[in-house]
Amino acid sequence: MNAILSLFAVIGLALIAFIGVKVAHLEFLFGTAIPYIALAVFLIGVISRVLKWGRTPVPFRIPTTCGQQQSLPWIKQSKLDNPSTGAGVIGRMFLEVFLFRSLFSNTKFELREGPKLAYSSTRWLWLGGLAFHWTFFVVLIRHLRLFTEPVPGFLHSIEALDGFLQVGIPGVLISGVVLLFAATYLFLRRVFIPSVRYISLAADYFPLFLIMGVALSGILMRYVVRVDIVSVKMLTMGLASLSPVVPEGISAIFYVHLFLVSALFAYIPYSKIMHLGGVFLSPTRNLANNSRMVRHINPWNYPVEVHTYEEYENDFREKMKKAGLPVEKE
């Protein structure tokens, strides 16, 4: 149900752009105004969200420790999994963000007769997730070629690497294809793993379909319904140089692609995709476990009501004396 609604929402978005261009000839709206608005919403939204997080205090030092602490000098500390220094934290975060290290150690279990619980490691989500994110990233970077003139050398290298298969005309760029497959995998596991289906909201399917839509329209544009790349570049350079132009003759599929991307960007700040920022601010990962060495300050620490020793002794003085315990007041 959640999945179908999300699918229709994405198809609806694609249709809006298609009809808008084909029937209503709103090329200017879809080619320039909406992308600008989307970018503005994205930037303002992301920045304000991150500022909101950043302004919220971290009252306690609560890393989740996943290895041996620093203690006696002859006990080997797990410097990455239980960092006690800034460098260790950076290492831990780097591996999390770029290699999804926690997901790498994922496990699954099985309940057998007996009962006997058997655990084993499972890396499919890690692999699918990694493929999805890295290809998304590469695709994003590759698009910079549309917004730069001359195109910087590193973009050529990336594209060359990406086209290493050297099949097809134009040459197949592997990242886009893998992105589509990886997103499809993430979708299928959402539908077929009962527990994951049970927790999935429309807000989980929607971004997946949106990204699949973006990738699919992009792939169609490159290999099937060819678009006039020279005109497209005029449009994108116009966007980049803040002097928008809308050349004639760009096919509708391009506007569909651009509109879906715009929708994705505008949606990001209000969605779970904000995890891209949040992961850096997660106090269980980005803090060192050194709170016995360095006092962590809580900005809102306030005095509390306590039961003092004096009150305690007043309650128990006679009993304490009888038991031979020293007291402050006879």
Partner 1 sequence: MAKTPKPDELSKIDYAPPQSAWMDTPAELKEGNWCYGAKPKNLETLHFPNPREWRVQDEDWKLPENWQEIILKGMKDLLDKYRSFRVFMDICVRCGACADKCHFFIGSGDPKNMPVLRAELLRSVYRGNFTKAGKILGKLAGARELTYSVLKEWWYYFFQCTECRRCSVFCPYGIDTAEITMMGRELLNLLGLNTDWISGPAANCYMKGNHLGLEPHTIVGNLEYMLDDIETVTGIKITPTFNRKGAEILFVTPSGDLFADPGTYTCMGYLMLFHELGLDYTWSTYASEGGNFGFFTSNELAKRLNSKIYAEAKRLGVKWILGGECGHMWRVLNQYMDTWNGPADFLQVPKSPITGTVFENAKSTKMVHIAEFTADLIKNGKLKLDKSRNDNLKVTFHDSCNTSRGMGIFEEPRYIINNTCNHFYEMDELTTREKTFCCGSGSGLNAGENMEIRMRGGLPRANAVKDVVDKYGVNMVANICAIDRAVLTASLDYWVPGTGVTGVHELVANALIMKGEQPRTTNLRGMPLPGTEGQE
Residue 211 binding: pick among ligand HEM, partner 1, none (C-beta 5-8 Å cut-off by kind): ligand HEM
256 in Cβ contact with 18 (< 8 Å): yes
DSSP 94-149: HHHHHH-HHHHT-EEEEEETTTEEEEEE--HHHHHHHHHHHHHHHHHHHGGGGS-S
Residue 75's H or E segment, with its range, is none
325, 326, 327, 330: CA torsion to nearest 10: 100
- Contact map string, positions 123 to 162, toward ligand HEM, x by CB under 6 A: ------x---x--x--------------------------
> Whole-number minimum distance, CB 204 to ligand HEM, in Å?
5
The reply on whether position 196 binds partner 1 by CB under 8 A is yes
3 state SS of 263: helix
Out of 8, 28, 60, 137, the only residue in the binding site for partner 1 (CB under 8 A) is 60
Q: Give the interface segment with partner 1, choosing from 21-29, 64-72, 245-253, 256-264 (CB under 8 A).
A: 64-72
10 binds ligand HEM (CB under 6 A): no
Instruction: Report the partner that residue 249 touches, choosing among partner 1, ligand HEM, none (CB closer than 5 to 8 A by kind).
Output: none
For 196-236, give the DSSP string.
HHHH--HHHHHHHHHHHHHHHHHHHHHHTS---HHHHHHHH
Interface residue with ligand HEM among 276, 281, 293, 327 (CB under 6 A) is 276
Does 269 sit near ligand HEM (CB under 6 A)? no
23 DSSP assignment: T
Q: How many residues bind partner 1 (CB under 8 A)?
A: 99
Residue 133 contact among ligand HEM, partner 1, none, beta carbon within 5 to 8 Å by kind: ligand HEM
The neighbouring-strand residues paired with 102 are none
Taking CB under 6 A as the rule, does residue 281 contact ligand HEM? no
Give which of ligand HEM, partner 1, none residue 195 binds (C-beta under 5 to 8 Å, depending on kind).
partner 1
**183, 208 contact by CB (below 8 A):** yes
Q: In the window 187-226, what residues touch ligand HEM (CB under 6 A)?
A: 204, 207-208, 211
Q: Is 70 exposed, middle or buried (0-12, 13-18, 19+ CB in 10 A)?
A: buried
Which residues between 254 and 293 bind partner 1 (CB under 8 A)?
270-272, 274-275, 278-279, 281-285, 289, 291-293
Interface residues with ligand HEM (CB under 6 A) are 97, 100, 103, 129, 133, 136, 186, 204, 207-208, 211, 273, 275-276, 279
